[in-house]
Chains A and B, each alone.
Chain A
Amino acid sequence: MFLQVKGVSKSFDSEVILKNASLEINEGECHCLIGKNGTGKSTLINMIINLIEKDEGTIELFDTDFETDPDLIKKQIGVLPEFNPVIEEFSIQDYLQYIGLIYDLEEEIIASRIEFLIEYFFEKKPDNRKPISQFSKGVKLKTGLCAAIMHKPKLLILDEPFDGMDVFSSNNLIEFLNDYRSKGNAILVSSHDMLFMDKIASHVSVIHEDELLNYTREQLMQNGKSFEKQVAEIMGYNPKEIREFK
């Protein structure tokens, strides 16, 4: 099992964010984490990657936890967190090289992976003399994404990877993720974009009123409704009527 979240709860002051949340991710699965704004998607991801502490429950990655064997976990996960920690003074190539060195990759492997990732995710090769700070939000996001993939992790954790990315790049990412999980890896991805989630999800986890509800794609789609409608129903969404805007 790649990830096992069992009975995890988290509160900030008196506000309960998650209550008794459980989740399992295995080889070849892509779990899409969906929820309204502020329901705790990033909080759950931050707890999984050990950025914030949980109040209750256990989180195990690759049958161990961050206390027992942090190195084993860190080498097998790739993360694009909410805050995308790119070093803005570096060029894109230098930053990816830096990430490769963090994971102790060989120079030749780093060079070939940088070439592959840039060729696949970027429209044209970025200027190596230009710092990341001078690129747009979308390019910074792609850089963070490449950094998460650089060392070919077994479990890829992406927090809002489509946020700020153009539709063509998003389609490329969808293709990449589907191919990546078919090769024995697993993915946990959070997003608001139902259209993209529909194209990658093997499992769906919905956060609704501080509870985490898990479904396989088959369970979700069994009554013939569209992906978006089914998720909206679980989240208790009713379209609002528009009154006159005075």
Chain B
Amino acid sequence: MSSLYNFLWQKKRSYLLEWPQIGKFLGYSANTLINGSLFGIGGAFLVDSVVEAQAYPLHLILLFHTFFWGALFLPLDVFPFYKAQSFEFPEYYPVSSLTKLRINLSVNLYRHFVFFIVLMQVLLVTFSKSIGWFEIGYSTLIIFSFYGLNRILKNTISFKVRHARLLLIAGCISLLISCFIYGQYGAKFWALLISMICFIAISWIYVQSELTKKTKPDVLSKRYFGGLFYRILAQRDVRTLLGIGITFKVIGLAIFSIASNIYGGVLFNQNFIIWIFASPLILFTYLGYNFFGVNRTLFFTHAIRVKSRKKLFKIYADFFLPLLLMDAFIFLIFTTVSELLTIPNIAFYLTCAVVYFLTAFPISLRTPIIKEKYLSLDFMGSGGKNISWTAMITGFAIFLLAYFAKLYWFFLIADIGIIALAFMAFHYLPLNMSLISQNFYEKARSV
């Protein structure tokens, strides 16, 4: 079987070293290098300044840092972006479990995100005066324990694994014990030893899931949902993206609300990170700006039957308005709890909602990213680069600048301008549905 292993390695190498893959590979590597340096060196100076000012203890800062990056590992590769990276062997192929494990551990090992984490941690300890090797080692161990759980999660979701639920529960318990020990006794050597044992346990559970996994045939009895909203929501990718997005949003806002109530508003109240979480930005990431890319069967079903943009807009609005209402409710709870319910804040939220809602529709029609699987949080691994992402981030940065500069009149102008523009475009600049359908078909064909 070593020839199979060598063949896959050689294919992986040639796949990465050919144009355009090499461009992507180098691009992502450079991106990872820059991000790793920014977060590592920048983080080191930030941690030192906070520790010197005695605002927060080092352990608390590292705890937040570790859990944040660890949690980002959890959804990674649950739905792989690059199918080439995960070689599946259906049951009828004579490939031993050990060969499968070996190929999985080696050929699929390299992830930009893993490289990013290691680089960031090394730079953090090198440039920081307050963080030592013990602290960074312990933090890295916990982050990679999250990665271990992610691997177990991936196997139990994507494959039929013997005792899947038991393995997943055991993995979660091991991680929880490790996190609890780290949080409570993070500075002690024996705590590190226990976390190491937990890490070994997680790795062992992962190997078990890898050795017993089987291809999962299509489920024959799926629950059918009535309304269009629920049918779109019933799609696994949509559900996952939304679930991850909303969970991050709620966790992020909850942490900031608690922190601002405990420590007062100096550090937390007007932070731009709060507004990334509080605005509807996360809701529209991919799912909004790539609505018809994610739901391409829905698009084709309608586009080949009715050439009416109004009907397509109705589908889009029927799905997004209830979600926007839910998002607004989360925003309302957050602003009320943290005493941030002010007119400028509401204006900021509403402007983002209006602008994203109206611009996401035409952009998702014109520049869909059509992939087998979607995962917006895999930003270090591959990610989809298109103008929608740039447009959304640029728009958000402009609103934030206006918000911090207290140019609130800008929101009113943006609202009126975008609504007027959308109204005019809708009535006087009809979308060429034939061209859009052709564009979709070509992209879908080259998935």
Contact = CB atoms under 8 A, between A and B. Distances in A.
Interface of A: 12-13, 15, 43, 46, 49-52, 66, 70-71, 74-75, 77, 79, 81, 83, 85, 87-90, 94, 97-98, 101-104, 107, 133-134
Interface size of B as a range? 20 to 34
Nearest to B446: A134
Contact of A81 (B7, B90, B214): B90
A102 B83 contact: no
B83 A71 contact: no
B92 A77 contact: yes
Contacts of B95: 102
A134 B1 CA distance: 29
Nearest to B82: A89
Contacts of B445: 134
Contacts of A70: 94
Contacts of A74: 92-94
Interface in B48-95: 82-84, 87-95
B447 interface: yes
A87 B83 contact: yes
Contacts of A51: 90-92, 214-215, 217
B92 A79 contact: yes
Nearest to A51: B217
Contacts of B11: 90, 94, 98
B390 interface: no
A46 B92 CA distance: 10
Given A15-B221, A94-B11, A133-B446, A102 B4 contact: yes
A12 B218 CA distance: 12
B4 A83 contact: no
B84 A89 contact: yes
Contacts of A88: 83, 447
A189 to B, nearest CB: 16
Given A87-B84, A102-B95, 13 more contacts: A15-B221, A49-B91, A51-B90, A51-B91, A51-B215, A51-B217, A74-B92, A74-B94, A79-B92, A89-B82, A98-B4, A104-B3, A107-B3
B15 interface: yes
Contacts of B3: 101, 104, 107
Contact of B217 (A66, A83, A97, A98): A83
B429 interface: no
Nearest to B214: A51
B405 interface: no
Interface of B: 1, 3-4, 7-8, 11, 15, 82-84, 87-95, 214-215, 217-218, 220-221, 445-447
Contacts of B92: 49-51, 74, 77, 79, 81
Contacts of B15: 89
A22 B447 CA distance: 41
A66 B214 CA distance: 13
A119 to B, nearest CB: 23
Contact of A97 (B7, B83, B221): B7
B106 to A, nearest CB: 16
Contacts of A101: 3-4, 7
Contacts of A50: 91-92
Contacts of B82: 89
B83 A89 contact: yes
Nearest to B85: A89
A81 B92 CA distance: 10
Contacts of A97: 7
Give the interface centre of A49, A81, A102 by most chain B CB atoms within 10 Å: A102
A12 B89 CA distance: 25
Contacts of A13: 221
A89 B82 CA distance: 9
Nearest to B10: A94
Contacts of A66: 91
A1 B84 CA distance: 39
